[in-house]
A and B are shown apart, each in its own frame.
Chain A
Amino acid sequence: MTFTISPPPHIKQDTTFKKITWIKILALLPVSVVSIYFFGLYALALILAGIGMAIVTELVIEKAFNKDITIMDGQAVLIGLMLALMLPAEAPIWIPIVGSFFAVAIGKHAFGGIGSYIFNPVLVAWVFLILAYSSYMYPVSFPELGGISDIFLENGAGLLIGVSPVALIGGLYLILKRYIEWKIPAFYVLTTLVLAFLVGDEIGHVVTGAFVFGVFFLATDSPSSPVTKNGRIIYGILCGVLTVIYGHFANYIFAVFYSIFLANCVTAFIDTSTLPGSFAEESFLQRKYRKIMEKIPIERLGVKTDD
């Protein structure tokens, strides 16, 4: 009889990157459907253009550089979909095409692919688009923010993602199922709401589709967020602070995107400075206390210590 030989562990959880990505895509479907309902088939065209170009770009690049084809893991689809959802409903059809190309080619592959890129590719592309083609990137009508109805359905929304924050409820499901982790979203939301309240911004201005989308889908993009436990808390808080700073003086919709993009810059720094100590080590304060005590020449002062 022949037996398989392999190193332990011999059982693993069945969660894979592929599964996580496709479930994220599923979680974005409701909001896509609502936006198509409000903005008509043109919204569908934008979404399809985004996804299509992302897939084509991924395919071409992986073929050209002789890499494994990774279309099936869904990341290209997710990038294309997320990018399209971040566009205004009136954007010309070539905007998602250029954007998706930029996201996959530059944001993802030029930075070294999954696991190596430092900026969320979707945000890279969005920032590029807003700098290069800003006139097409501003929605014609900024929605009237404030009413409770905005939370459920907003047919005057500017961006596809703005149509219904409630349709993004899939994000909560992702957290419950642990497909995305909870620390970043929790601290992001908390910080933003508390700060916005302190500076006197109306909560209705803050809780937009873009905000919910940012919290659940952009900030939690794992390669571009910290991994240490404390690091993730700090990152969440940082995103919140930046969102309020930018949002208070400009608008909260773009604030979300910019702040997460900026927070991405310091991810590595946050990670490196929050590495945990050894399990039995002294805490930060104890360490400082010991350092100080070591400097004091207790013996020479004639004080007896029993160690």
Chain B
Amino acid sequence: MAEINVMETIPEKMIIPLKQHNGDICEPLVSKGEVVKVGQKIGECPSEKCAAIHSSVCGEVVSVEESSHPSGNRINSVVIQPIEETECEDFTPFKDSGKEQLISAIKEAGIVENYGTPTHLVLNPPDCDIDTVLINATASEWVGHNYETPLEYASQMLDSLRLLMKAAGASRGAIVLRNDDKDSIDAFDGLDYEGKTIMVAPLLGKRRVGYYFNDQNTDIIVASQDKIYGKNIFEYFTYNVTGRKVPFRCTPANAGVAICGVKSAKAIHDLVNTGMPYIETVVNVSGQVNNPQHLLVKIGTTFRDVIEACGGYSGEPAKLISNGVITGVAQYEEEVPVTKMTTSIIVQGKDEVLKDISKDCIHCARCVDVCPVDLIPNRIAALSNQGRFDECRQMHIENCIECGRCSSVCPSKIHVMQLIQYSKEAIARADEDFSEKESSNIKLGCSCGSE
């Protein structure tokens, strides 16, 4: 397990966006000149599809204004000038009082999955019953703590899983590890928990979690599988782990599955034990910085301050990316804050920046061979390019998990994944009640001011 350092320096300016999730933007509760405390709620939810926002520092509100956001848009944000002393809200540990309270506490604490859905919606979706909770630990995000021993980490994760199951009213739960993540597997394997010995169960072929629940005669298991990464992996992940197919235009919730990340599981654990809302997160800083590391930062710290805390740039930076080189978003400027959805910051130097010109597809089938969900990316891309979205549908475009492998291997440097995203977006928009999406790099339709 990688070491996690805590960012000690206090930045001059914190930008806390009033929207750090997919859904509705929060209404500010503070105005210019007010003094806020650590953990004070500064953004109130106007609706269900929302998660509250808290201040992560003590300081004076400089302004409430539109400011840049790592998704690439400008979002109303509270700008705070921190002061030296730290004055905290009184955090009270959560008193065990049932599912409803737990859900509303999670909502109040503003806990959000790193893919953007507020956790209370994941655990308690409208009109769906959850029977299985999965903690997806395959992406190896890091939890904000240095554990004394790996065992401590493992049992805390299992405690979190219990909490999640309780909040969701689910009868079964599983933690899914990556099968090449030796550290975590070792931590869990052989651990005694609630009088039972945990064994890490490999998900192979038709042996999915259902099999192990019965086999080990338990309601909590730890499983391992191949690494899956990508933006929309949830349907595929659900299928891989539970064997349930998520119907088109549905979410895993429709199949009775809730998927949480390691970070939000940890945040819920903290909430219950200390009462602390979601105000800090671990960011993995890598690339052209002097001292790459995992850093625990307060939400709202700008990328510039984070990079300074990592020893500054080494060489001239040319590209700043949030959330991964494969699916992440390139940033316009450094003055953009870390949000609840930020998992990594990557700096690329001049020679790493790609300047490719797309050529014609040579049908080399490399993209077909790498696609984890058995699509024919080159054909879908060609159809998208011509606007033949119906035919894209027939080729199961909705399965694409936006992992970017196809674009990355293409010798003709075709922007395969963009074309697929474009067409997915168009299909989603054809749907009347399409849910609003963020941080997609493509905007369709009329772009003359209406967006």
Please report A residues at the B interface, Cβ cutoff 8 Å: 1, 3-13, 15-17, 19-20, 73, 113-116, 178, 181, 222-229, 232, 271, 275-280
Contacts and interface: CB of A to CB of B under 8 A. Distances in A.
B354 A6 contact: yes
12 contacts: A1-B317, A9-B326, A9-B404, A10-B330, A12-B407, A12-B409, A223-B363, A225-B363, A227-B363, A229-B368, A229-B369, A278-B396
Contacts of A232: 365
Interface in B396-450: 396, 399, 404, 407-413, 415, 417-418, 441-442
A3 B360 contact: no
A4 B318 contact: yes
Interface of A is mostly: loop
A58 B81 CA distance: 64
A5 B47 CA distance: 34
A224 B365 CA distance: 11
Interface string B366-390: 1011000111101100000000000
Interface stretch (B21-29, B142-150, B331-339): B331-339
Interface of B: 236, 239, 245, 317-321, 324-334, 346, 348, 352-354, 356, 359-366, 368-369, 373-376, 378-379, 395-396, 399, 404, 407-413, 415, 417-418, 441-442
A279 B354 contact: no
A106 B125 CA distance: 60
Given A3-B319, A10-B354, A15 B348 contact: no
B241 to A, nearest CB: 12
A14 to B, nearest CB: 9
A9 B326 CA distance: 4
- Of B321, B415, B417, chain A has the most CB atoms within 10 Å of the CB of B321
A17 B354 contact: no
A256 B442 CA distance: 47
Interface of B is mostly: loop
A17 B369 CA distance: 17
Contacts of B325: 8-11
A276 B376 contact: yes
B348 A10 contact: yes
Given A8-B404, A8-B441, A223-B363, A276 B375 contact: yes
A248 to B, nearest CB: 30
A19 B411 CA distance: 9
Nearest to B356: A12
A223 B325 CA distance: 30
B411 A20 contact: yes
B319 A10 contact: yes
Enumerate the 9 nearest inter-chain pairs by beta-carbon distance, A residue then B residue, closest first.
A115-B360, A280-B245, A9-B404, A222-B364, A227-B365, A10-B325, A278-B396, A7-B441, A276-B374
B331 to A, nearest CB: 6
Contacts of B320: 3
Nearest to A3: B320
A228 B328 CA distance: 29
A17 B361 CA distance: 10
A278 B332 CA distance: 37
Contacts of A11: 325-326, 352, 354, 408
B408 A12 contact: yes
A5 B328 CA distance: 11
Given A3-B333, A280-B245, A13 B319 contact: no
A114 to B, nearest CB: 5
A224 B362 CA distance: 9
Contacts of B326: 8-11
A3 B331 contact: yes
B362 A222 contact: yes
Contact of B411 (A15, A116, A280): A15
A223 B362 CA distance: 5
B417 A275 contact: no
A279 B441 contact: no
A3 B330 contact: yes
Contact of B365 (A8, A115, A222, A280): A222
Contacts of B361: 115
A13 to B, nearest CB: 5
B257 to A, nearest CB: 13
A24 to B, nearest CB: 12
A279 B417 contact: no
A217 to B, nearest CB: 14
Contacts of A6: 319, 330, 353-354
A271 B380 CA distance: 13
